[in-house]
């Protein structure tokens, strides 16, 4: 089994992004990401911190707005509108989940589609669904495609099975794979005979959120395994794929150090694109 090293690929791409940032700064532009964090969710704080650090590492502008958990829908929408109007801000990210009682859909749709670097706006997702990838692409599934490209893993004509149908991972992953002419199956919590389907995969993408969900007997020998899952148990991170799958896979992403570093990198890529 060959490891698909997300840190290595992310470092490589980030070097290219640094050069793009310098080129933009040379003509007086500074790609800037504004991150809005509502409330005190500890995991969200960690994610937001990572995004800020990477933006700074690449020499980009990074703005952070912390709003109290008691914020009203109107206050959050006002903040989004202020950032929409700010010409110095190129990308806006509202960290999810929002505290209970707030309407996430309304907030995400309020973000200017030209600054929607997380690619949650129906306009950008709709373009992707129509096979037009000229807009922003969702960071995690786009990161998966970049990993496969880096390792010269062919997608065209392959049987791809995606476990999970979320708007963040599963559904956009389906579009990106279909746009590259894979034959794609999406399986989920209501799928019958799930293992029969996963066993057909040349490329299996797991985005379930259950540690060790994919076991060796669910995988075709020689399959490429992409593990999107991040599950924290007693302070340690586990993917959705059981370690024993290494014995049968041809390539596999580790957790941590697989898809995770790519997600933040693709967010920076989108912000630089927005600035351009």
Of 167-206, binders to ligand NAD (CB under 6 A) are 168-170, 188-189, 194
Smallest separation (angstroms) from ligand NAD to the CB of 9: 13
Part in contact with ligand NAD (CB under 6 A); list of ranges 10-18, 26-34, 159-167, 217-225: 159-167
Q: Which of 166, 179, 183, 250 binds ligand NAD (CB under 6 A)?
A: 166
Smallest separation (angstroms) from ligand NAD to the CB of 38: 18
Collapsing DSSP to helix, strand or coil, 203 comes out as strand
Name the residue nearer to ligand NAD (CB basis): 155 or 163. 163
Q: Which of 20, 95, 116, 127 is catalytic?
A: 95
Sequential DSSP letters for the chain: -EE--HHHHHHHHHHHHHHHHHHHHHTT---EEEEEEES--HHHHHHHHHHHHHHHHTT-EEEEEEE-TT--HHHHHHHHHHHHH-TT--EEEEPSSPPTTS-HHHHHHHS-TTS-TT--SHHHHHHHHTT--SS---HHHHHHHHHHHHTT---TT-EEEEE---TTTHHHHHHHHHHTT-EEEEE-TT-SSHHHHHTT-SEEEE--S-TT-B-GGGS-TT-EEEE---EEETTEEE-SB-GGGGGT-SEE--SSSSSHHHHHHHHHHHHHHHH-
Q: Which of 155, 207, 225, 226 binds ligand NAD (CB under 6 A)?
A: 207
Of 18-47, binders to ligand NAD (CB under 6 A) are none
User: Is 5 known to be catalytic?
Assistant: no
Q: Which of 5, 14, 20, 51 is catalytic?
A: 51
Residues 221-260 as x/- pattern, contact with ligand NAD by CB under 6 A: -------xxxx---------------------------xx
User: Is 95 known to be catalytic?
Assistant: yes
Please work out the total of residues on this chain that contact ligand NAD, with binding judged by CB under 6 A: 22
Given the rule CB under 6 A, which residues bind ligand NAD? 140, 163-166, 168-170, 188-189, 194, 207-210, 228-231, 259-260, 263
By annotation, the residues acting in catalysis are 51, 95, 118
């Amino acid at each position: 089994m060959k490891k698909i090293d997300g840190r290595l690929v992310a470092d490589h791409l980030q070097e290219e992004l640094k050069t793009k940032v310098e080129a933009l700064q040379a003509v007086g532009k500074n790609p800037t990401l504004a991150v809005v964090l509502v409330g005190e969710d500890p995991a969200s704080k960690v994610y937001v911190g990572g995004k800020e650090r990477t933006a700074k590492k690449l020499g980009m502008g990074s703005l952070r707005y912390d709003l109290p958990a008691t914020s009203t829908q109107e206050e959050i929408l006002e903040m989004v509108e202020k950032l929409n109007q700010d010409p110095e801000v190129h990308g806006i990210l509202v960290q999810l989940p929002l505290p209970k009682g707030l309407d996430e859909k309304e907030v995400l749709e309020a973000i200017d589609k030209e600054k929607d670097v997380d690619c949650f706006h129906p306009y950008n997702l709709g373009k992707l669904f129509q096979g037009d990838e000229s807009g922003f692409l969702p960071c995690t599934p786009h990161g998966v495609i970049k990993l496969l490209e880096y390792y010269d893993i062919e997608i065209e004509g392959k049987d791809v099975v995606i476990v999970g149908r979320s708007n963040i991972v599963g559904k956009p992953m389906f579009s990106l794979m279909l746009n590259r002419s894979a034959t794609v199956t999406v399986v989920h919590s209501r799928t019958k005979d799930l293992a029969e389907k996963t066993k057909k995969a040349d490329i299996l993408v797991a985005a379930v959120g259950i540690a060790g969900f994919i076991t060796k007997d669910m995988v075709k020998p020689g399959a490429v395994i992409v593990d999107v899952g991040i599950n924290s148990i007693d302070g340690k991170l586990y993917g959705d794929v059981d370690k024993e799958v290494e014995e049968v896979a041809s390539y596999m992403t580790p957790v941590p150090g697989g898809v995770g570093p790519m997600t933040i990198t693709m967010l920076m890529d989108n912000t630089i694109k927005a600035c351009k």
